Structure formats: structure tokens, C-alpha cells
Amino acid sequence: MVNLTIDGKSTSVPKGTTILEAARQLDIHIPTLCWLKKISTTGACRICAVEIEGVERPMTACNTPVKEGIQVTTQSPALTKTRKQIMELILLNHPLDCPVCDAGGECHLQDTCYELGVNRQEFKAEDVNPEAIDRWPLIQQVPSRCILCEKCTKVCHELIGADALFVNDKGDRAFIDKRVENCVYCGNCVAACPTGTMISKPFKFKARPWELKKTASICTLCPSHCEIDIQVKNNQVYRFTSNDDTTHNQGTLCIGGFFGHDYINSKKRLTTPQVGREKASWNEALNRVVTEIERVKEQHGALAVAGLSSPRLSNEENYLFQKLFRAAIGSNNIDTEARFGALRGLRALNKGLGLCGASNRVEVIGKADAILVFGADPSAEAPLVDWQIQNAVRRGDGQLILATMRHTHLTQFASSHLTYLPGSEIALAKGLARLLLDRGLLDDAELARTVTNIDELKADLADVDLNAIAATTGLSLASLEQAADILGTAKNVVIILGADILKSSYGISKSAVIANLAVLSGALTPQGGIFPLDDKGNSQGVLDLGVYPESLPGYQAYATSKAKFEKAWNCQLPGRGLDAEGILQEIEAGKIKFLYLAATNPATFANSSRWLKALAKLETLVVQDIFPNAVTELATVILPGTTFAEKNASYTSLDHQVRKTTRALASVGDSRADGEIFSELLGRLTATATGYDQNAILEEIRGLTDLYADADFNTRQWNALGSLPYEVPEQSLKYQLITVSDHADGLQLLLGKSMSHFGTTTTFATAVAEVEGTGLLQISPGDADQAGVKNGDTVQLTSSSGTLTGQIAISPRLPQGIVFAPVHFPALGAAALIPDGDNRIAVSLTKV
């Protein structure tokens, strides 16, 4: 600890603390303009300068660390004079367009002038008055308002790693310029700008900050669940903001959070119920659903009814959905798209590690010494994880191992690049495991303490042929050894697996070998962890609440816990139900006649054409969603649901944090919150009271499960579910023996998430669509050369299950042999080419 006095008050702070931080701890206010807690200090504005006894010049408090025994003065006539004069210089030729400036009402420059009593201008200089920069998409830059605090360039470079913004030119002409090709349109520059220099074009001139009603909520586009304030005027969402000091995301948002909200008020929203092609009242529509359910049940039995719910919906809604089907309809034919992703991870992690998802809080990622990202693109799938990874490897000294088929945004920060051949994930994980053994990097005592089948583990590793693995993965032994050394010598290890693992065939086996790696590398500690990523907003909630036939809410096996729920719900529950694949087969077989699609669109599922063909065979298709799509075209009844912004509900994040959304605007048009629709149907079918009561539902969940015991929704202090961080009990881990192997031949079409879009939802957000409006087929320069195609050319991809035509974009991020298609654009038709439950297929490419 270092002792010092500030304005006569003594204090003791840790070494490395800045004078500014020490002063704030003493509640001594030092003015700042360029200081921002979450980035490195800049020292640009100079108004935080303080006097230190014995040092002739004033020192800037923001970036001067404390020294033992110093005496600091923060207020003096000389300092006041200097601060005021520097403010005058900052204000020199600052435009007087405050009345129309976008920062009006929240201008930090104005506030600071007011605070320092800067009320005159004694300097003059020629006003160069540079033109506003309007040529960048979504963001306008008004250089004349810029005070060059560099907050924008620093959030861009340090937090996001985009490095798009930079200071260009010299002297008074200097301005913030942009390498537009690097921009990821996260909007953090706009959020960080203390003046009206960086402006969101969609927000510009739309509203004054004080007119907007702020509602604290979370963004549910992905499982990061960044905390936001939804800002609304006249039942219209104008912007999302996030507070640096009070949110777990430290105020940082991604493109989805910052620019992706205008789908909420999109004119394309479904706002009226429809029966057949006709608009209908809610009563008519709901009646039709009820009568159809009763008719089908009567004619074909309850097993002819099935439903798919969605990770876009809340915990309460998913709870209601499964209850509606199981208790009110009497069918356990329910599932969600988590079947093709998150559920696979759950299976493997549960079997091997006893986990129901991530083993720890995301914050540990930011402090890890080694991070293995395996088959994941965290920047796209859960940006918060990306930011935490950058915390670890850029602000800290952690090392990143990227085991991915293609290069991503994080590639630039990785120390080890294991760019493996498609289908070689299991081999790669086994190779790393064997190298941990060979290089003496295993903690034998800990393995003996925790692993039940240590002999099987040893035997399995002994069988690994490293040369074969090098050949299968396409990686050199040296690069595998380097990665194993990083993983094996690090103290705090984090392993992240994502879409390329979970959504691919053999996803459970692939997850299992990665779970094995977590055991072997010692990732299962309070300072480490394993994190499966599913890009959808509430996949964890879907699993928690048992929206799949094998399980009741709270991970209670259906068969064994049925009786408990029958008692609680006072009904007879059906027997085994069908999963998504079973439902599809039974629709095709003509046995399932009624399907309820709640906020889910099979046109985005793998083998989507098979789904669409099957849906056409149904007698009744109920579609509850917010936008028209390929399945609303086929619907018997359309029920317009709402977005999270229109709901009071809770969601579970990728690290088991349960956070709530608060209704920030009335349901758009005649739409209804999905939970209200389920409650209404539940009421009508069981002839009980209707109405959605969030607290009552949560109470019911708490009563029947171990979930949410700690969650307190009355404060912003969300509490954890379960006892994280996870500590491994004795003899609780199982090394999983995996003998299957995936493979790939020829050019592969890979389906995945883009960095800009979230499901199909954000394709209805105009700002995001401006960045990525259509689905392009990304291909490597080498493959483009070989096929004789250029950027923008149209090509045809043909797989064993079909053909698609699309435009290509040549991307150096792709290795030769992979064509990447974003999953968000059903019109591109990539999902139709992919086999069931997979994310990849061999294709041939021809120029059209």
C-alpha cells in the first residue's frame, strides 16, 4: 500500500493506483474530460492536472500513479486558472450549434464548462470549420465538435479490437478518421463520445434525451444479456444505451445492441391475429387454436399435437409453453432448436462433468492465463465473451489458442492458430489431450482425486496416434505442441466451445472430447471454466425449463419426475414425447396433424426444405411470431407475439445469470406478449383463470425446481443461479471415451452466424441491414481463383440435397476448402442444402 495525502486528507491505496482513483476514493472530485474508466488513460484534456509538492509542473491525476508520501493539491488558484484557460482553448471555435447538437442534454463538454465556470473566451484563432464526415454508414462524424479525447479510438481499439478509428492529420486540422473496412458498427464510439462528434445516424435529430423514457432491461439477442436502458418516446424505441458503471457489460454493446433495435417498431411486424388469410380478433384466433387442438385430439389423440418453442422467448414463456403442452394438451411432443445445439453441449458436459452448461461466470474469462476457443466465433455468437477474451489476452497477459476452421475477428489476438480441417475436431482434441500427457503437463494428483475412470483415460490417451492426428487435422505437430504447452502450463484455463462444435453432426461426441480436455487441462477451477456458447438469446433458459421431451423443468428426468408434476399441476401427464426429429418424421408420416411454432422458424433449420415440405402436410399449423416468414405463409392461425422490450420476463444468460426485461413500451399494434398468449390458451384449455403473472410463474418454478432460488428481480442486483463458481467434488468427473469420427471431403459449405446479425430478427432492423443486407457466400481467395470467380459474381452451390444460387464475397478469413454462408438469410437457401442436425456439407461450386 502507498500512503499519500490529497487536499490534506490522508489515504492509503494499492501500488499502481492513479491519483485520480485515489482522490475518488476520498470523494474528492477532480474534473476530467478524456478519462473513461474502461479504457487506458489518455491524458489528452489536461484538466485533471493537480499539484504535487516538490514537483514543479502540474501532473495529470488520471495517468499519474501514486507515490509514497506525496502531497497532492487538487484545487488552487493556479490550477483553476489553468483549467479554465485550457477549457477556453478546447472551446476555441467550437461550433455554437448546441441547440441542434445530438449531444444536447448529455454533453460532457457543456457540463464541464459549467462546472469550471468557463464563461468567456480570451483566445482567437482562425476557424477552420471542417466539414462533417457523412460517408460512413450509420455513423456521422462532426469534427468541429471534436475535442480529440480519443475515447472513441480507444474503445474501438482496446475493447472491441476493431481498430477502425484513428487520429488523422496534424495540429488543429487533426480529426478522427476511420478505416471503414475495419468497422464492426458496434456504436461504442458514439456511446463514448462526450460531445456530439460521433453521431448515430439513425438517432440523429429524432429525439432530445430528456424526452426519452428510460427502462432498465437487458438485450436478449444473444446469451450475453448486456444490460441496457431502452429509450422510448411515443411507444417508439429510439435507442438502447448502457451504463459503464452499473452493468456487467461495462456499458459496452455490439451492433445488435446498439443499432439492432428498430425491428421492434418495424412496420413489417405482425400486429394482428390471422385465421387463414384473414385478419381476426384475438378471441377468434385463440378460439380457433383451442378448437383445432380439441378437434385433433379427439380425432387423432393428443400425440397428434406437437409444438416447438424458442430460445428467443423468456423463461416464464418457455415454462408456460411446456406446461401448456404437457398439462393442458397432454402431449410431450415438444422441443426447440436447442436440440440442434445447446442440448448437445448439455448432454456431454452433464455426462462428463456433471454440469448443466457453463462452469463459471464469464468474468473469469477476462482473467484467464490460457483460453482455448474451440469451434466457436465468440465475436459473433456472444460478443461479451469476445470482450472478456480480449481482456485476458490484451489487457492481461493471457494467451489465446484458436482452434477454428476459419479465421475470425479474434484471430489477430491469438498466440496459437489451430486452423483445423473440417470434421477433424475430435482428432484435434484427442491430439491435444495426448500431448498434455506426453509433455508432462497433467496434474496427476488432481486427476486421481476427481476422475472416476482414470485407467480408461490413460488407456485411451495411450492409443492416440499423433502423426495420424497431424494428418487428419492438417496441423503440424509443432503447432499442436505449442498449443498444448500454452494450455498445460497455464494456471487459469478457460475453454470455450461454440457453434461449429454444437451445431455439427457428432456434436455430443465433439463436446465430450472437449469436456475431456477441460478435465485434463485443469480448467474446472474457481478461476477457470468451460463455456459452451449457443448464439440464441435464451437457450440456457429453454434447457433449464425442460422444453424437450426427455426432461421436466429443472433438469428433472421426465420419466422419474412425472408424478411430482402431475401432483403439482393436478393432471395426468402424457408418456414419452417426440423430439424435433421425431416430430418431423411423424408429420411426414401423417401422424402429427397439429403443430404449434412459437417464435421459431424451421426455414432456418438444417434441411429446411424437408421441414417446409412437411409443414405443408399438417392439418393445423399455428405460428406465433413477430415477423412474417416462410412458415407464416403456411399457417392456419397466426398469433402476433412481441419482442422482449414489450415484456416483463426473465432470461438466463450463457453463464446462468438470470436477468429480467421490463416492459418498456406497450405491445406494438394488436400484438400480445407471448406469455400472455400461452396463459390465455392454458386458461381456455383447462378452464382456469387466465392472465400472465410473472411472479406467480416464478414462484411455481421455484416450488417445483432448484432453479432461480436466489434470483431477486426487485433490484438490479441479479443473483446467480446455483453455486458458481464450480468446484470439482471428488470422483465426480468422467473421462468420456469417444470412438466416432467425423469427416469431410471436398469443398464444404459451412453454415454459421455473422457478426452483424442475430437469428433472422435483426434482418428486420434497418440499421443492421445497412451493414449486411443480404446473405453472401464467403469464399477464400484460393477457391475463388480456382473457380475463376470474382467478388460479387453469382455462383451455384450444389450438394447432395439441393442447389442454391448466391453472390460471393471473397474473404481472406476463410481457408481454402470452405464456403461460409450466414444462417440469417432464409432467402439464400443455404440451410436447405445442409443435412438434418448438421451445419456443413460437401458442395460443388460453379460460376453462373
Partner 1 sequence: MSKVAFSSWGRQIVDNRQGGDAEVPVAKKKLPVTFDGEKQIAALMGWDGLILNDPDVDVVAMAAEYARRVQEDFCCAKCSPGKKGTRVMQDTLDRIVAGQGLESDLETIENIAELLKNCKCTLCATSAVPIVDTVKHFREDYLTYIKGTPRPGKKTDYKVKLTAPCQDKCPAHIDIPAYIEAIKDRQFSEALSIIRENMPLPAVCGRVCPHPCETACRRANVDSPVNIMVLKRTASDYEWKHNLTPPTQPKPRKDKKIAIVGAGPAGLAAAYYLALEGYPCTIYESLPEGFGGGMIAVGIPAYRMPRHILQRDIDIISAMGVEIVYDTHVGRDISLQELKDKFDAVLLAPGAHKSKPMGVEGEKEGYQGFLAGGIEFLREAYMGKPTGMGKKVCVVGGGNTAIDCVRVALREGADEAILLYRRTRKEMPADSWEIDGAEEEGVQFQFLILPKKIVVDDQRRVIGVECVRMELGEPDDSGRRRPQPVEGSEFVVECDTLIPAIGQDPELSFITDDTGIGITKWNTVVTKFVPLKNAEGRDLNDPMGNPLSRILITDMDGVFASGDAEIGPLTVVACVGNAHRAARVIQRWLEEGEAYLTDDDFHEDILSHLGVYDKNEQVSWLDAVDRFHQAEIHGRERAAKGNYNEVELGYKDSIAVQEAERCLRCYRVSMIAVQ
Q: Which one of 145-153, 196-204, 293-301, 450-458 is the stretch in contact with partner 1 (CB under 8 A)?
A: 145-153
Task: Please name the residue that has the C-alpha cell 476459419.
Answer: 406
Q: Is the dihedral of CA 565, 571, 575, 578 positive or negative?
A: negative
Among 396, 554, 683, 835, binds partner 1 (CB under 8 A): 396
Per-residue x/- track, 149-168, partner 1 (CB under 8 A): -x---x--xx----x---x-
Q: Which one of 122-130, 206-214, 454-462, 654-662 is the stretch in contact with partner 1 (CB under 8 A)?
A: 122-130
Q: Which one of 46-54, 311-319, 595-603, 683-691 is the stretch in contact with partner 1 (CB under 8 A)?
A: 46-54
Please state the closest distance from residue 679 (CB atom) to partner 1, in A: 51
Smallest CA-to-CA distance from 209 within 283, 105, 280 is with 105
Please state the closest distance from residue 499 (CB atom) to partner 1, in A: 24
72, 177 Cβ separation under 8 angstroms: no
474, amino acid identity: G
User: Cβ closer to partner 1: 70 or 469?
Assistant: 70
- Give, as one character, the DSSP assignment of residue 411: G
Residues 737 and 445: their CA atoms lie apart, in Å, by: 21
Smallest CA-to-CA distance from 435 within 370, 483, 473, 468 is with 483
Among 171, 440, 691, 788, binds partner 1 (CB under 8 A): 171
User: Cβ closer to partner 1: 46 or 458?
Assistant: 46
Please state the closest distance from residue 250 (CB atom) to partner 1, in A: 17
User: Cβ closer to partner 1: 445 or 478?
Assistant: 478
Residues 278 and 187: their CA atoms lie apart, in Å, by: 41
Task: Please name the residue that has the C-alpha cell 437457401.
Answer: 829
Among 3, 25, 40, 234, binds partner 1 (CB under 8 A): 40
Widest pairwise Cα distance in the chain: 93
Please state the closest distance from residue 39 (CB atom) to partner 1, in A: 10
Q: Is the dihedral of CA 151, 157, 158, 159 positive or negative?
A: positive
User: Cβ closer to partner 1: 37 or 716?
Assistant: 37
Q: Which one of 363-371, 411-419, 677-685, 717-725 is the stretch in contact with partner 1 (CB under 8 A)?
A: 411-419
Residues 294 and 685: their CA atoms lie apart, in Å, by: 9
533, 382 Cβ separation under 8 angstroms: yes
Please state the closest distance from residue 45 (CB atom) to partner 1, in A: 5
Among 170, 278, 717, 723, binds partner 1 (CB under 8 A): 170
Q: Which one of 243-251, 389-397, 755-763, 782-790 is the stretch in contact with partner 1 (CB under 8 A)?
A: 389-397
401, 487 Cβ separation under 8 angstroms: yes
How many residues form the binding site for partner 1 (CB under 8 A)? 54
Q: Which one of 372-380, 395-403, 502-510, 544-552 is the stretch in contact with partner 1 (CB under 8 A)?
A: 395-403
Residues 6 or more apart whose CB falls under 8 angstroms from that of 802 comprise: 609, 829, 832, 833
Residues 624 and 629: their CA atoms lie apart, in Å, by: 11
End-to-end CA distance of the chain: 70
Among 24, 67, 347, 351, binds partner 1 (CB under 8 A): 67
Omega prior to 549 cis, within 30 of 0: no
Smallest CA-to-CA distance from 746 within 676, 793, 836, 816 is with 816
User: Cβ closer to partner 1: 397 or 745?
Assistant: 397
Q: Rule CB under 8 A: say whether 786 interacts with partner 1.
A: no
Please state the closest distance from residue 173 (CB atom) to partner 1, in A: 8
User: Cβ closer to partner 1: 94 or 702?
Assistant: 94
Q: Rule CB under 8 A: say whether 366 interacts with partner 1.
A: no
Please state the closest distance from residue 372 (CB atom) to partner 1, in A: 16
Q: Rule CB under 8 A: say whether 367 interacts with partner 1.
A: no
Smallest CA-to-CA distance from 40 within 348, 549, 390 is with 390
Please state the closest distance from residue 148 (CB atom) to partner 1, in A: 6
47-66 residues in contact with partner 1 (CB under 8 A) are 47, 49, 52, 55-60, 63-66
Q: Rule CB under 8 A: say whether 412 interacts with partner 1.
A: yes
Pairing of strands 637-640, 274-275: antiparallel
Per residue, the 3-state secondary structure of 252-265, as one string, reads: CCCHHHHHHHHHCC
User: Cβ closer to partner 1: 124 or 135?
Assistant: 124
Q: Rule CB under 8 A: say whether 43 interacts with partner 1.
A: yes
576, 558 Cβ separation under 8 angstroms: yes
User: Cβ closer to partner 1: 415 or 796?
Assistant: 415
Smallest CA-to-CA distance from 705 within 573, 565, 569, 570 is with 565
Please state the closest distance from residue 521 (CB atom) to partner 1, in A: 20
Give me the DSSP letters along 194-224: SSSSEEETTTTTT--GGGSEEEEEE--SSTT
Give me the DSSP letters along 625-679: ESS--TTGGG-SEEEE---GGG--EEEE-TTSBEEEE---SPPSTT---HHHHHH
Residue 175 pairs with which residues in a beta bridge? 168
680, 345 Cβ separation under 8 angstroms: no
Q: Rule CB under 8 A: say whether 169 interacts with partner 1.
A: yes
Please state the closest distance from residue 79 (CB atom) to partner 1, in A: 10
**Cα separations in angstroms, 511 against 25, 321, 457:** 46, 28, 16
Q: Give the three-state DSSP class for 477.
A: helix
User: Cβ closer to partner 1: 173 or 567?
Assistant: 173
User: Cβ closer to partner 1: 108 or 449?
Assistant: 108
Q: Rule CB under 8 A: say whether 477 interacts with partner 1.
A: no
78-117 residues in contact with partner 1 (CB under 8 A) are 82, 85-86, 89-90, 92
494, 524 Cβ separation under 8 angstroms: no
User: Cβ closer to partner 1: 416 or 511?
Assistant: 416
Cell numbers placing 388: 472478456
Stated as kind and residue range, the H or E segment containing 821 is: strand 818-822
Please state the closest distance from residue 158 (CB atom) to partner 1, in A: 6
Among 148, 226, 682, 841, binds partner 1 (CB under 8 A): 148
Binding site for partner 1 (CB under 8 A): 40, 42-47, 49, 52, 55-60, 63-67, 70, 82, 85-86, 89-90, 92, 123-126, 147-148, 150, 154, 157-158, 163, 167, 169-174, 394-397, 412-415, 417
